[in-house]
Amino acid sequence: MTTNFSLPKTLRRSGSLPSSRTVRIVILGQAAVGKTALAVRFITKRFIGEYDPTLETIYRHEMVIGGDVVHFEILDTAGQEEDALLIEEKIKWGDGFLIVYSVTDRCSFDEVMRLCFLVNHIHTAGARRSNVEPPPMLIVANKKDLEFDRMVSTEDGENLSRGLKLPFHEVSARDGWEETAGVFQALYSDIVQQLDSSPPSFRRRAVSKLMEKIPRIHSNSALGGTGRSFSFSSFRDFLPD
């Protein structure tokens, strides 16, 4: 699958050879808000109704964006994180963050602010420079198709987004690919802009032993390699050719 996202002019390449870059996205949010559904929707274009509660996974997926080959590494975190050190490792690993809540779950909405502050704190606290920018983050309200079960209004989401000065997207992973892809596209644009304009606050590229232990699922290869190393047969069945 070689989907070509359209990009803002400043991020488009013209004439030169395609380059290749890796971006690491961490999806955070309470249990059952749809983190896996969003990641799998983006990668496979399908909505798969039921998953096992997340065993933490890194999805690897290549796409051509604006003429460049982009290697996405998407960490789908478990909704329940017991150990503060473990979550810190995962947050340090990421270039950008999707903070997800479900519009049907008020508690998951209330958790968003804490997660945003946590990411902000972890990425800026240890920095040598004082003017380090927080990493790109985006608030995602999922399950907007469940209008009858809604507990969080669009206005609540927009107010939170204004308060935290973060972009906000209300989507349904169930209802379509474009919206979900738009979320990843927006975050990708922000990550690229930040990586190109300022050095990361610390060595985000370092991979700790913990991160190496998280299972990886490789969806495809935009470059035509075999690239298939899915270890869960339930996902293999849904991959596009």
Ligand X SMILES: Nc1nc2c(ncn2[C@@H]2O[C@H](COP(=O)(O)OP(=O)(O)OP(=O)(O)O)[C@@H](O)[C@H]2O)c(=O)[nH]1
Q: Quick one: which of 219, 215, 202, 217 has its CA closest to 89?
A: 202
Task: Assess 151 for contact with ligand X (CB under 6 A).
Answer: no
Closer residue to ligand X (CB): 95 or 170 = 170
Both tokens of 32, joined, read 């059952």
Looking at 21, 71, 79, 164, which residue binds ligand X (CB under 6 A)? 79
Question: What amino acid is encoded at 212 in this protein?
Answer: E
Tokens 């890796």 locate to: 22
- CB within 8 A of 183, min separation 6: which ones? 38, 42, 98, 138, 140, 169, 171
CB of 89 to ligand X, least distance (A): 18
Task: Assess 173 for contact with ligand X (CB under 6 A).
Answer: yes
Q: Element (H or E) spanning 123, and its range?
A: helix 106-125
CB of 59 to ligand X, least distance (A): 12
Looking at 92, 143, 169, 218, which residue binds ligand X (CB under 6 A)? 143
CB of 115 to ligand X, least distance (A): 13
Looking at 54, 124, 194, 221, which residue binds ligand X (CB under 6 A)? 54
CB of 18 to ligand X, least distance (A): 32
Task: Assess 49 for contact with ligand X (CB under 6 A).
Answer: yes
Task: Assess 82 for contact with ligand X (CB under 6 A).
Answer: no
Would you list the DSSP string of 10-54?
A: GG---SSPP-EEEEEEEEEESTTSSHHHHHHHHHHS---S--PSP
CB of 80 to ligand X, least distance (A): 7
Looking at 142, 185, 189, 220, which residue binds ligand X (CB under 6 A)? 142
Task: Assess 239 for contact with ligand X (CB under 6 A).
Answer: no
Which range, of 46-54, 82-90, 114-122, 209-217, touches ligand X by CB under 6 A? 46-54
CB count in 10 Å sphere of residue 1? 16
Q: Quick one: which of 87, 70, 68 has its CA closest to 30?
A: 87
Q: Please list the residues that pair with 99 across neighbouring strands.
A: 28, 139
Binding site for ligand X (CB under 6 A): 29, 31-37, 49-51, 53-54, 78-79, 142-143, 145-146, 172-174
